[in-house]
Amino acid sequence: MTISPTKTADESGRGAETRRRLVRAGLELFGACDFDNVTTRQLAEAAGVNLAAIPYHFGTKEKLHLAVAEHIVTSIADALADDLKAIRRCVADEGAETEDLLQALHSFIVSFAREILGSDDAAARAGFILRQQLSPGAAFDVLYQGVMHDAHRTLTALVARILGAEPGSPRMVRRAHAILGQVLFFRMAREVVLRELDTDRIDAGQVGEEIAVQTVVGLRAEAHAAGGSV
């Protein structure tokens, strides 16, 4: 029986670094160009690795593309994990007051804005995600099942609890999407905002705070009108 040699720690470390560099290159290139317009040679050159590294570590360009989607899922999910857990706890707590629910929403919006607008690879991620929205494929399924569905469903349940509505109703789904859309607009229409503000960067924390305040004020008034406890 032939026994395969065990990889040394150094070899494993180099392999992980190569994969990381390829995923980073994939994020940049797939975020800027359609999948079919990105070649394996371009990916290897951008990562600074040998062309053979792609089939060795990922098998195909398609699988590298999926690995990029998984990387996006992990980074966003990690950043929002605490806020989503807090929301779920709050929604499940029958004794939670409207202000508790609104505070959980405020915190989530600020965290979401910082992740979507202020992370180091926000622009590349936005390009990748937008391309999947326009032409959904296997990578979109990874994004949707990995983080989009959970975040959307959790936010929908929170808004429904605040307004005393059915969480699965189309109206509540649209309301949750509208809240997320306020942040996403600053990402998609970034150049307009930069010109209007005459600046070269968006303050993600400030944007998140302003959207959170605006959203909370509106929902508080609506909940009060509906007879909720405020």
**What is the arithmetic mean of pLDDT over 17-23?**
96
Cα separation of 56 and 9, whole Å? 18
HSE-CB at 37 with a 13 A cutoff on CA atoms is 8
Which pLDDT tens digit goes with each residue over 21-33? 999 999 999 999 9
Q: Please tell me the predicted confidence (pLDDT) of residue 230.
A: 38
pLDDT top residue among 119 and 45: 45
Q: Please tell me the predicted confidence (pLDDT) of residue 23.
A: 97
Q: Please tell me the predicted confidence (pLDDT) of residue 226.
A: 78
pLDDT score of 7 more than 70: no
**What is the arithmetic mean of pLDDT over 183-205?**
93
pLDDT score of 6 more than 60: no
Task: Kindly tell me the sign of the dihedral angle through the C-alpha atoms of 162, 163, 165, 171.
Answer: negative
**What is the arithmetic mean of pLDDT over 208-220?**
97
Q: Could you give the residue ranges of the DSSP H alpha helices within the chain? A: 9-32, 40-47, 53-57, 61-92, 98-118, 122-134, 138-143, 149-163, 170-188, 190-197, 204-225
1.10.20.10, 3.40.50.150, 1.10.357.10, 1.25.40.340: which CATH number matches 71-225?
1.10.357.10
Which pLDDT tens digit goes with each residue over 44-77? 999 999 999 999 999 999 999 999 999 999 999 9
CATH topology classification for 11-57: Arc Repressor Mutant, subunit A (1.10.10)
The residue among 62, 60, 91, 70 whose CA lies nearest residue 20 is: 70
Q: Please tell me the predicted confidence (pLDDT) of residue 12.
A: 62
Residue ranges covered by each domain of the chain? 11-57, 71-225
pLDDT top residue among 149 and 226: 149
pLDDT score of 3 more than 80: no
Which pLDDT tens digit goes with each residue over 140-176? 999 999 999 999 999 999 999 999 999 889 999 999 9
Tell me the C-alpha to C-alpha distance, in Å, between residue 161 and each of 7, 29, 87, 152: 53, 41, 11, 14
Place of tokens 């600046």: 199
pLDDT score of 15 more than 90: no
pTM (predicted TM-score): 0.87
Share of the chain above pLDDT 90, in %: 86
Which pLDDT tens digit goes with each residue over 95-116? 999 999 999 999 999 999 999 9
Q: Please tell me the predicted confidence (pLDDT) of residue 2.
A: 40
Amino acid sitting at position 80? L
Q: Please tell me the predicted confidence (pLDDT) of residue 168.
A: 86
